[in-house]
Amino acid sequence: MNLSWKTAILTWASSWLGKSIAWKLIAQGVTVIALARTEEKLQQVQNEFWAEHYHYFVADISDKASIKNVAIQILATYDTIDLLINNAGIWHQGSTEEHSLDVLEQLLATNVFGVMGMINAFYPAIKKQKHGCIFTVNSLAGVEGNKDRSAYCGTKHALTGYMKYFREEAAADGIKVMQIHPWGMNTSLFETFKSGFGEQERMMDKEKVADIVLFMISQPADMNIDTLVVRKFFEQ
């Protein structure tokens, strides 16, 4: 896909991996519609980029009403949506008995229903165009489980299954569906919970992961990297 002149919606585009993806898309001539919960952070990124192709809307994808409202605004403003990049997610670590129902609801609301909600809101418009790409930043936890992360892994496994079968549906409409399962990165997602693999030397560089994301979505029209697992490599 030639990215020049394309329009992309990107969630959690105010920092870390999302910010890196946004900058690389803009460098390719893409208009980025950035979504995040905090306007101050979105404004800071816009000022830092100083780019006319970075537009933002405040939205919380864990809130159904927020998704509905921002979809109405975006679809009324932009003629086409070529890319929907689901990047938002939250992390929680702890044993099963340590997960309150509130925590479980928060994880599901963002990691699963938030992604489904964004697709539900924007897919009809993308389908009508008969071209486009739905891209989801999943996690290695979506293909491999780990102790003390059962709830988080469960949400990511659910997302893996959803994207796998949604891909078959979307293909019939001429729409690409991709997901990447990266190892932990040097982002704020893991700052609170250092146990297990949180040391910085064990984390992947978010800039390199952003490069891989661009590689995936830049493939020719007849090529689709539907699922990619990316790990940190350690010499034996």
The mean pLDDT value for 40-64 works out to: 92
- pLDDT band for 144, please (50, 70, 90 cuts): confident
pLDDT of residue 132: 96
- pLDDT band for 173, please (50, 70, 90 cuts): very high
Task: Indicate whether 191 pLDDT > 70.
Answer: no
Q: What percent of the chain has pLDDT over 90?
A: 70
The mean pLDDT value for 47-64 works out to: 92
Q: What percent of the chain has pLDDT over 70?
A: 91
Query: Residue 136 in contact with residue 163, Cβ under 8 Å?
Result: yes
pTM beyond 0.85: the answer is: yes
CA distance 88 to 233: 25
The chain-wide mean pLDDT, for the chain, equals 89
Alpha-carbon distances, residue 43 vs 14, 24, 38, 90 (angstroms): 8, 18, 9, 22
pLDDT of residue 161: 97
Task: Indicate whether 227 pLDDT > 80.
Answer: yes
pLDDT of residue 195: 47
pLDDT of residue 190: 54
The CA-based angle 65-134-226, given to 5 degrees, is 140
CA distance 184 to 153: 13
Q: Which domains does the chain show, CATH number per domain?
A: 7-230 (3.40.50.720)
pLDDT of residue 199: 59
pLDDT, tens only, 67-110: 999 999 999 999 999 999 999 998 777 667 677 888 889 999 99
Region of poorest pLDDT, from 18-22, 120-124, 149-153, 165-169: 149-153
Query: Residue 142 in contact with residue 164, Cβ under 8 Å?
Result: no
